[in-house]
Amino acid sequence: MQVEKNKVVSLTYTLTLKNGEVVDTADKDTPFVFIHGVGMTLPHFDANLVNLKAGDAFQFDITAENAYGLGSDEYIVNIPKAVFSGPNVPEDILQVGRMVPMQDQNGQPMNGMIIGINDETVEMDFNHPLADEDLNFKGEIISVREATAEELDHGHVHGEGGHHH
């Protein structure tokens, strides 16, 4: 069976940056398992796997523009320091370099990195941590199977390597 839309794919991979830094891995003991072609991965990741089958090795690059995009000053904002105080906020949260879970104005979760702190505001970078980075994936397809109707309805894999209800 070949990798195509709505198939459950299990694979290993090593993700490296242009400088050789390893960013992420999935091995045979803890493979990456996903439904292909339904928006669970980067579109260019999916595209590079089409028609592969169990046992096939792969290696491909995805440019920054086609991965997590190019960084933008538009996503660097100053937030009032008062936002980071209160009974449910850890006292040590304000540290340059710390990734902080936040919400946008619509309540959607997003992460921002603290890049500066002054008396009144906290400067945060909401660009994706891999913005501006070209990605290299190298791995192997372990298995390919049909997704169940329930998996397609729920939008994620169930069972081994997937979500457990």
pLDDT digits (tens, 9 = 90+) for 7-29: 999 999 999 999 999 999 999 99
Query: pLDDT over 90 for what percent of the chain?
Result: 80
Q: For residue 164, is pLDDT > 50?
A: no
> Does 59 have pLDDT greater than 70?
yes
What is the pLDDT averaged over residues 131-140?
98
The structural domains of the chain, ordered by start, are 7-68+131-154 (3.10.50.40), 73-125 (2.40.10.330)
141 Cβ partners below 8 Å, 6+ apart? Answer: 3, 9, 10, 11, 49, 52, 53, 54, 55, 56, 58
Residues 6+ apart with CB under 8 A from 83: 122
Q: Enter the tokens of residue 161.
A: 């390597």
Residue pLDDT, tens place only, 77-124: 999 999 988 888 888 899 999 999 998 889 899 999 999 999 999 999
Judged against a pLDDT cut of 70, whether residue 143 lies above it is answered with: yes
Distance CA 159, CA 157 (A): 7
User: Are the C-beta atoms of 124 and 77 separated by less than 8 Å?
Assistant: yes
- Count helices and strands in the chain by DSSP H and E runs: 2, 9
- pLDDT surpassing 80 at residue 161: no
pLDDT of 131 strictly over 50: yes
Distance CA 33, CA 11 (A): 7
Stated pTM of the model:
0.83
Q: Are 32 and 8 in contact (CB under 8 A)?
A: no
Q: What is the DSSP string of 98-164?
A: -EEEEE-TTS-EEEEEEEEE-SSEEEEE-S-TTTT--EEEEEEEEEEEEPPHHHHHHTS-BSTTSB-
